[in-house]
Amino acid sequence: MSGHEEYKPKSKAGKWLNDRLPLLTLGAHLTDYPTPKNLNYWWTFGGILTFCLLTQIITGIVLAMHYVAHADLAFASVEHIMRDVNYGWLIRYIHSNGASMFFLAVYIHIFRSLFYGSYKSPREVIWIIGLMIYLLMMAAAFMGYVLPWGQMSFWGATVITNLFSAIPLVGDSITTWLWGAYSVDNPTLTRFFSLHYLIPFLILGLVVLHIWALHVPGNNNPVGIDIKKPSKDTVPFHPYITIKDAFALLLFMIVFAGFVFFTPNVLGHSDNYIPANPLVTPAHIVPEWYLLPFYAILRSVPDKLGGVILMFGAIFILFVLPWLDTSKVRSAVFRPIYRQFYWIFVIDVLMLGYVGAMPAEGIYLVLARVGTIYYFLHFIVVMPLVGLFEKTEPIPMSISEPVLGGGAELSLAKKDNGKI
């Protein structure tokens, strides 16, 4: 948060306020914030994600005005929203498809970070906060999916809460505690509703920290080099980045609107329009598409506890990624070997998602196991070794002067200290 002159309000009233609460300084910091001028469209997903979060919060607050969190009434209240509430169908479809759009954006955001090494020093804390947001998103999405109290709601809740019963000794007690009953039942629904309402605000708080942590070292960029701020390599956030984010957001909204207005149920499961029935399990239980890779990892292990450990491990290994990656160069643009492993990893995750939607048998089970093993190999073996042995390509000295300086010092991901 340095590099430009201290902001001085012009008006007296502005100065009065700013002396007491430096809101205007904050505003000026955000608008003038020097941003690398070579950010590509993959960098617009931060803004898109903010839009997604706010959309979910606003539509969610509205839905909560009409939804009834009770096992006997929840399904009917959703139908009431769809049929009777003014624009209820629109608001609900935005909320339900919004969850998918949110995850689509967050996955692009995460994979952008993986490609350009944005998680590397000095941005580890941004990365870790981001992963915490991602975990909370999954919790919120899961609990939200339970609320309509359809068949997938009920059985998804049953399967996921039963994961905790894998914990030795106390597992069953924890599961019963989560349920507040001896199965998924009305107490489970009401507490999920409460937490589903709470979590987005926790996410909002973490987003503030995420952006704060970002503004300390500043944005990474496609070239991955450290830059002076401000300089001719940077542009003020407003209007350059805001207009670009707005353009990307509008494109995103067109896709979003396409889902909401023309195929609003395609991302959901038809079984969730059958009211929850504790006596009958649907033939195929599948989570929403965005959780499928983890679901595949869970099912690939023939041991209950082992599956749960691997599934959570698949997420928690991301937390230590900044220290598993030994490369001194951030961006995959200059890392020919890592670049290939990166795409293999992308394909691996997509394949895991695919087999997660398939029955856990035959070739799918084999693919799930291979995919799971590779998933972990990528982080535990590929990332450290490639970083050590890879011969990186020459790196430019600055963004505006694409002179291949060769000297890697400028473009290093500094590991030793926090100096930027």
* Residue 391 binds other proteins, judged by CB under 8 A: no
Of 22-30, 45-53, 205-213, 353-361, the window that binds other proteins (rule: CB under 8 A) is 353-361
CB of 232 to other proteins, least distance (A): 9
Write the interaction track for other proteins spanning residues 290-309; mark x where CB under 8 A is met and - where it is not: --x-----------------
* Residue 283 binds other proteins, judged by CB under 8 A: yes
Among 154, 187, 158, 193, CA closest to 272:
154
Which of 169, 262, 361, 416 is in the footprint of other proteins by CB under 8 A?
A: 262
Of 2-10, 17-25, 26-34, 272-280, the window that binds other proteins (rule: CB under 8 A) is 272-280
Of 5-13, 154-162, 262-270, 296-304, the window that binds other proteins (rule: CB under 8 A) is 262-270
* Residue 363 binds other proteins, judged by CB under 8 A: no
* Residue 31 binds other proteins, judged by CB under 8 A: no
CB of 157 to other proteins, least distance (A): 18
Of 124-132, 165-173, 242-250, 313-321, the window that binds other proteins (rule: CB under 8 A) is 242-250
How many angstroms separate the CA atoms of 318 and 126, rounded?
Answer: 13
Burial of 2 (0-12, 13-18, 19+ CB in 10 A): exposed
* Residue 244 binds other proteins, judged by CB under 8 A: yes
CA distances, 400 to each of 63, 223, 230 (Å): 49, 11, 13
Of 51-70, binders to other proteins (CB under 8 A) are: 58, 62, 65-66
Which residues contribute to the site for other proteins (CB under 8 A)?
A: 37-38, 42, 58, 62, 65-66, 76, 79-80, 82-91, 93, 222, 235, 239-240, 243-244, 246-247, 250-251, 253-254, 257-258, 260-262, 264-267, 269-271, 273-275, 283-284, 286, 289, 292, 332-333, 339, 347, 350, 353-354, 357-359, 400
